[in-house]
Amino acid sequence: MTDETAEQAKQTELSERLAVLKKNKAFIVGASILAFWIISAVFGKLIARYDQDFSDYESISSAPSLKYWFGTDSNGRDVFSRVIIGSRVIIVISFLATLLGAFLGASLGLTAGYLKGKFDMVLMRILEAISAIPVIIIALLAVAAIGRSSSIITILIIGFIFTPNVARTVRAAVLGESELEYVAAAKLRTEKNWSHFV
């Protein structure tokens, strides 16, 4: 009976959260946009009106029209079709870049917040210096230094750019948690440092 009650409580809580989200217009709009791009990434070839490499040399750099909804580029290629088909690459890059930034930022933030002292001070100054540089400058410097651009380089650059923001957020949370009693108790039990992170 206890298990059934707990299961009902979880279902009730879930349904209440869904009801709140359904009333949130910003969530509905955001979810709709995200769903559109996910569908475009999965079924891009079916949605696109033309092949991504198809060129109409009679309509080079044309304005949006019924034939070409977003117009054409300097090579006569349909911009709408290229945007839809290219969404798959964009979604993969954004997901991996976010994952990389979150992992690096969380790792640095955890370490800085736990160790504190000189390591924390030096690391935070470095991250603040990186954050002060405009994003476009970092991207241009990276591409110029490497000499070429690719999906992997784009992922690394975006992940690197967002690492300081994540690190500062995680560090602030760790500094607050590190002063709590359960952390002090773990230190008194001489537990290993990695167990404190967990």
pLDDT tens digits along 86-112: 888 888 888 899 999 999 999 998 888
> Domain residues for 39?
1-47
114 and 30: one domain? Answer: no
Q: Are 186 and 196 in contact (CB under 8 A)?
A: yes
In a domain, 73, yes or no: no
- Per-residue model confidence as pLDDT tens digits over 115-132: 888 888 898 888 888 888
Predicted confidence band of residue 1 (pLDDT cuts 50, 70, 90): very low
Does this model's pTM top 0.85? My answer is no
Q: And the tokens for 98?
A: 């976010």
Q: How far is CA 35 from CA 32, 39, 65, 87, in A?
A: 5, 6, 26, 12
Predicted confidence band of residue 149 (pLDDT cuts 50, 70, 90): low
105 and 36: one domain? Answer: no
189 and 96: one domain? Answer: yes
- Per-residue model confidence as pLDDT tens digits over 13-39: 778 788 888 888 888 898 898 888 888
In a domain, 58, yes or no: no
- The closest of 46, 48, 56 to 77, measured between CA atoms, is 56
In a domain, 76, yes or no: no
Q: And the tokens for 9?
A: 């409580």
41 and 96: one domain? Answer: no
Residue 54 has pLDDT above 70, yes or no: yes
Q: Mean pLDDT in the chain?
A: 80
